[in-house]
Amino acid sequence: MSNYYHLLNKLEDLNLKHTREILPEYLDIIVQENLSFVEALNHLMTEEINSRNERQKENRLRKANLPFKKTINDFDFGFQPKINRTEILDLCTLRFMDANNNILFIGNSGVGKTHLAIAITLEAITKGYSCHFVLSNELVNRLNRANQRGNLDRLLKKYASYDLLIIDEIGYLPFTPDGAKLFFQLINLRYEKKLLLQRIFLCLNGLKLFKIKN
């Protein structure tokens, strides 16, 4: 076996998958551009890191369970003039996460709460945060089932582990008393970790934004 194939095998052993994939083409580039060993290795490692970052981002995006992908650039602020654009754009910088603040979006159906929450979540995913989106009643149903099966603690720890948890449609359907207790058990657990993006469906007119400091 030639040194070239030995190298391919070693790259695979080191889990440098992207480098292994692009190596044949990149060897031609090295010759054509007369790159030094250090230059070539630096370029290869940069490509590998970029590829890993992209795979990790895709993995975070998959685990986020977003119902759709919409960015802040897709949001029509002209359609909802009562929304403070400056505050929303500030939220997209994720300063609220560094400050350990919670977020509440309160407003009628159709005013853009879910869109804005998802836009902020996409920014967080891009910056490397783990996120998860869930409907409030779906969440409570899962907690109820876990409680009945005796594995509630494990599920609570799972939901508490995300850097950012987005709970949608709170108040759209009522919780049972037991469901409400389980829901607030999770909120208390996350409050202790100071991590929560929470959307609440309460206000009758417009959309109001409140920043709740822990």
Q: What is the pLDDT of residue 12?
A: 87
97 and 190 inside one domain: yes
Q: What is the pLDDT of residue 210?
A: 38
Q: Is 32 helix (H, G, I), strand (E, B) or coil?
A: helix
Helix 152-161 to helix 136-149 angle, to the nearest 10 degrees?
A: 140
155 and 196 inside one domain: yes
104 and 128 inside one domain: yes
Owner of token pair 């359907």: 173
206 and 106 inside one domain: yes
Instruction: Report which of 100, 77, 74 is spatially closest to residue 87, judged by C-alpha positions.
Output: 77
147 and 198 inside one domain: yes
Question: What are the tokens at 22?
Answer: 């692009």
Q: What is the pLDDT of residue 193?
A: 64
Q: What is the pLDDT of residue 209?
A: 41
47 and 153 inside one domain: no
Look up the pTM and report it: 0.78
**CATH no. for residue 157?**
3.40.50.300
157 and 126 inside one domain: yes
Owner of token pair 């099966």: 149
* Torsion over CA: 175, 181, 187, 190 (sign): negative
Q: Which domain holds residue 113?
A: 72-213
CA distances (Å), origin 142, targets 34, 139, 145: 59, 5, 5
Cα–Cα dist 10/20, whole Å: 9
Q: Which residues of the chain are modeled with pLDDT < 50?
A: 198-214
146: Cα separation from own chain's centroid = 24
188 and 90 inside one domain: yes
93 and 125 inside one domain: yes
| Domain count for the chain | 2
The radius of gyration of the chain from alpha carbons, rounded to an integer in Å, stands at 23
Q: What is the pLDDT of residue 194?
A: 57
Cα–Cα dist 146/120, whole Å: 29
Q: What is the pLDDT of residue 206?
A: 33
159 and 175 inside one domain: yes
Residue 134 DSSP symbol: E
